[in-house]
Amino acid sequence: MILHLPLPGHLLKIFGLTATIVLGSNSFAAKPELPHNNRSDGFLGIETCGSSTCHGSPEPWRNATVLMKERTLWEQFDPHSKAYEALKSQRAKSIANKLNLKNAHEAPQCLTCHSTYVPEDQRGEGFSLSSGVTCESCHGPGGAFLSTHLKADSNHSKNIAAGLYPTNSPAHRAKLCLSCHQADSNNKFSHRYYGAGHPRLKFELETYTAAHSHFNMDADYIRRKNPPSAVYTWAKGQLISGLHISESLLTNIRGGGLVPELAHFECSDCHQSIAELTDIARSSQNFGSPSINISNIIMIHAVASVVDVKLARQIRSNITTLMHKTNSRSSITEALTRLTKQLKKLNRSLESLEINEVSGLTLANRLISSMKELSSPSYYMAEMTAMSLATLTVSDYEDKRIDSSELHALEKKLDKVFQNLGTETNYNRGNYLRAVKAFADDIKHEL
Mean pLDDT computed over 39-45: 85
Does the pLDDT at position 53 exceed 60? yes
Q: What is the pLDDT of residue 186?
A: 67
pLDDT band at 373 (very low <50, low <70, confident <90, very high): confident
- The residue with greater pLDDT, 300 or 262, is 300
Residue 123: CA count within 13 A, CB half-sphere: 13
CA distances from 220 to 2, 65, 186, 225, 403 (A): 11, 7, 36, 9, 23
Does the pLDDT at position 88 exceed 90? yes
Q: What is the pLDDT of residue 285?
A: 58
CB 4, CB 19: distance < 8 Å: yes
Q: What is the pLDDT of residue 29?
A: 39
* HEC secondary structure over 239-277: HHHHHHHHHHHHHHHHCCCCCCCHHHECHHHCCCCCCCC
CA distance 286 to 60: 60
Does the pLDDT at position 18 exceed 50? no
Q: What is the pLDDT of residue 273?
A: 65
Within 8 A by CB and 6+ apart from 177, the residues are 203, 205, 208, 209
Mean pLDDT computed over 58-66: 77
Does the pLDDT at position 10 exceed 50? no
For residue 359, give the nearest of 395, 387, 386, 384 by alpha carbon. 395
% of the chain residues with pLDDT over 90: 56
Q: What is the pLDDT of residue 66?
A: 82
pLDDT band at 394 (very low <50, low <70, confident <90, very high): very high
* HEC secondary structure over the chain: CCCEECCCHHHHHHHCCCEECCCCCCCCCCCCCCHHHCCCCCECCHHHHCCCCCCCCCCCCCCCCCCCCHHHHHHHHCHHHHHHHHCCCHHHHHHHHHCCCCCHHHCHHHHHHHCCCCCHHHECCCCCHHHCCCHHHHHCCHHHHHHHHCCCCCCHHHHHHHCCCCCCCHHHHHHHHHHHHCCCCCCCCCHHHHHHCCCCCCCCHHHHHHHCCCCCCCHHHHHHHCCCCHHHHHHHHHHHHHHHHHHHHHHHHHCCCCCCCHHHECHHHCCCCCCCCCCCCCCHHHCCCCCECCHHHHHHHHHHHHHCHHHHHHHHHHHHHHHHCCCCHHHHHHHHHHHHHHHHHHHHCCCHHHHCCCCHHHHHHHHHHHHHHHCCCCHHHHHHHHHHHHHHHHHHHHCCCCCHHHHHHHHHHHHHHHHHHCCCCCCCHHHHHHHHHHHHHHHHHHC
Q: What is the pLDDT of residue 21?
A: 30
- The residue with greater pLDDT, 243 or 222, is 243
- The residue with greater pLDDT, 345 or 445, is 345
Structural domains for the chain: 33-165 (no CATH), 231-446 (1.20.1420)
Q: What is the pLDDT of residue 15?
A: 42
Mean pLDDT computed over 335-363: 96
CA distance 374 to 349: 23
In this predicted model, what pLDDT tens digit does every residue of 23-33 receive, in sequence order?
333 333 357 88
CA distance 271 to 425: 11
pLDDT band at 324 (very low <50, low <70, confident <90, very high): confident
CA 115 to centroid of chain Cα atoms: 18
pLDDT band at 19 (very low <50, low <70, confident <90, very high): very low
CA distance 364 to 357: 14
Does the pLDDT at position 422 exceed 80? yes
| Single pTM value for the model | 0.88
Question: Interior CA angle at 229 toward 228 and 235, to 5°?
Answer: 100
Does the pLDDT at position 12 exceed 60? no
Give the torsion through C-alpha atoms of 341, 204, 227, 18, to 10 deg: 180
Q: What is the pLDDT of residue 123?
A: 94
Q: What is the pLDDT of residue 39?
A: 80
Mean pLDDT computed over 212-231: 82
